[in-house]
Structure 1
């Protein structure tokens, strides 16, 4: 189940937070609760991705993207994910989540998120490929950035993200059915 109570809590906590620039980082703090764990008593990998939703939504709010989506009648969907899990987050561990935009190409926005343990270890890291959509499909990022008032026209995606994009472009779709 989607953590709606947590989402509301985050919007309440950050209701008066200052606006962020397009490339600003939203930082939030969370705890691994009993319903977040798997049979190994640690944060479930699927729940990790769900918790990242909280960071992305608050990042979109604080940068003004949510307001733009509402005004234009657009939606936002995730079109791809590249994730690394490196450290366990156990039940009742607290962690810091960092969320920021990395950049865009002609179709997608790329968002980087990470969870950090109290000792400074990065527990996991994810890059999302997000598309803004309307009734006709994907809205070109130039149109979104213009409506949104993006404040960094020259943002270059890191080379490792470009390599991921290239790998995704060579990946067969739909996958083989053997």
Structure 2
């Protein structure tokens, strides 16, 4: 992350969904477990589990891109290179790929 910050790149959420298994009340304490589940040519896909004690109370999937403070978009290839990742993306769960593709039909009025 230090190399990303040094380049003045920052993430933005482009799509997200969240499922609640229990209520998250204002003031509740919980841990957030985050992992990258894959990437494509434009996006990084992240899973975030909200855990209270030993119970996962909510699960989110986030699609993000990185932008340059100087303007423009950071390609996933650039990001992966700077992060020192040499392996290919894990296969995204089928529903995540469909969910991401389906958003392309959404338009703003």
TM bucket normalised to smaller: 0.7 to 0.9
Match for residue 104 of structure 1? 39
Listed one character per residue, the Cα deviations across residues 45-97 of structure 1 (whole Å, up to 9, x for unaligned) are xxxxxxxxxxxxxxxxxxxxx21212222121111111112201346654332
Counterpart of 1:165 (choices 97, 100, 105) is 100
Q: Aligned equivalents of 1:147 and 1:94: distance in 2?
A: 34
Deviation at 1:117, TM superposition (A): 3.0
Mark the runs of 5 or more structure 2 residues left unpaired by the alignment: none
Aligned equivalents of 2:88, 2:94: Cα separation in 1 = 18
1-structure distance, mates of 2:82, 2:25 = 42
Indicate the residue corresponding to 1:89 in structure 2: 24
Q: Partner of 2:82 in structure 1?
A: 147
Q: Which has the higher contact order (CA 8 A, sep 6+)?
A: 2
The alignment covers a number of residue pairs equal to: 108
Give the RMSD, CA atoms, in angstroms: 2.0
Q: 1:163 to 1:91 in 2, by over 3 A?
A: same
Larger Rg: 1 or 2?
A: 1
SS at match of 1:168: helix
Residues 77 and 93 (structure 1), Cα distance of their counterparts in 2 relative to 1, 3 Å cut: closer
The structure richer in helix per residue is: 1
Name the CA shift for 1:89/1:126 in 2 (closer, same or farther; >3 Å): same
Q: Structure 1: where are the runs of 5+ without partners?
A: 1-65
Structure 1 residue aligned with 2:67? 133
The TM-score normalised by the length of structure 1 is: 0.54
